[in-house]
Structure 1
């Protein structure tokens, strides 16, 4: 039985070990976090642009979105999309005489839920980055004859990246850890695999400790990568 195997055998890559499953779960965790970060970045940039707009209705929509998404637990958003969305979509489809679409894929639901929450935080980061660029520099670039693309590439973007990379690194770490919430949908990411392995072998400490180590590896590697990108961004922006 699995419970009688040694710890190296349980975590190994052999026929009785869970090593491959844990590594595959870690890879899926990383994929969920990457998808959520991409969704959050695109929507967050749009929300930041809306908040900077002179149209009052856009500002109010962006502010309301941020207030709601920063004020509710991420788990609630995952539950709402995975368990609540199918019923709502079925009702809408019924109005048009269409068949119910069924439950959405767990990967899509989890990535979207985490990305929607992440967007609320990334919007504030992007807005702060844009406000950090002195208006005088933009006006000077315009006076020097730079077009919109040149201003964006040479003046605005380097400085915005210099200011937003550190907080974006923190948001990425939150996305990576929040991906564990997707386990409630049955997606075989790292937390779900650990739960299944712990229940199957009756060795919860072994597999939860292994999951902790894998999460620490992912977060530590991510931190190192962001520090490297920040150093490059600082040189690009003229920093030290």
Structure 2
């Protein structure tokens, strides 16, 4: 058989990876927007917090951050439950993966959005304000559409890296593509074969993602003239 009877296991792992990546992406984008706004804020405190966050996170390997967050929180919960003499609380690997990846990649999206916000001509925002738009309308109708055109290359790059980073969650017990293919490889004694299967699945996901990103770039570039060579 093509997958030696491990098809359902691998399909389940693939779906877990896709859900993990999408939820982490959405949370990362929200953190990135807040972080970018803080970095561009007039408040020195907010700028300092955002700068410290992005500097710290981008300086430490993703695996180290994941292990520190997962095990430190689990140890803290164990200590609390022991003192209260209640049943131990175990962190759900999927939830831990989403929170950790969002926390990590939120720092990268912060820098992506910060640069994109600064690329939008200031006159566009001033014109919208003078026209009588409130801050939300300025963001939704003027700032966000133009910002996305500048941010999409960075968003695409962060998304591709985020997809690959989901493989790290297998070390804390999540049955994702990596763990599913490893289990299939060990069970069938065809470890190399199922490792290739896992790589092809990641390739398929990123290929589909590239198509979506190309469509988004066209969508947000409507009305923008390209430079003629």
Q: TM-score, normalised by structure 2?
A: 0.91
1:148 to 126, 135, 138: 135
Corresponding residue for 1:4?
A: none
Corresponding residue for 1:34?
A: 22
Cα distance in 1 for partners of 2:14, 2:155 equals 21
Contact 1:66 1:120 (8 Å CA) reproduced = yes
- Mapped pair 1:122 → 2:114: no
User: Which runs of at least 4 in structure 1 moved beyond 3 Å after TM superposition?
Assistant: 90-95, 97-101
Report the more deviating stretch, 219-228 or 153-162: 153-162
Q: Secondary structure at the match of 2:221?
A: helix
- Mapped pair 1:111 → 2:98: yes
Q: Pairwise mapping of residues 71-110 of structure 1 onto structure 2 (< 5 A)?
A: 71-92=59-80, 97=84, 99=86, 102-110=89-97
Cα distance in 2 for partners of 1:141, 1:189 equals 46
Q: Quote the offset at 1:102 in angstroms.
A: 2.1
Q: Secondary structure at the match of 1:53?
A: coil
Q: Quote the offset at 1:23 in angstroms.
A: 1.7
- Mapped pair 1:51 → 2:36: no
- Mapped pair 1:209 → 2:196: yes
Q: Quote the offset at 1:197 in angstroms.
A: 0.9
1:164 to 116, 132, 151: 151
Contact 1:89 1:100 (8 Å CA) reproduced = no
Number of aligned residue pairs: give it. 225
Q: Deviations over 1:3-30 (max 9, x none)?
A: xxxxxx151xxxx511222122111111
Q: Secondary structure at the match of 1:151?
A: helix
Contact 1:90 1:99 (8 Å CA) reproduced = no
Contact 2:24 2:101 (8 Å CA) reproduced = yes
- Runs of 5+ in structure 2 lacking a partner? none
Corresponding residue for 2:12?
A: 24
Cα distance in 2 for partners of 1:115, 1:100 equals 29
Q: Quote the offset at 1:66 in angstroms.
A: 0.6
- Runs of 5+ in structure 1 lacking a partner? 1-8
Q: Deviations over 1:7-54 (max 9, x none)?
A: xx151xxxx511222122111111111111112111111111111111
Corresponding residue for 1:176?
A: 163
Contact 2:81 2:89 (8 Å CA) reproduced = no
Corresponding residue for 2:178?
A: 191
Corresponding residue for 1:227?
A: 214
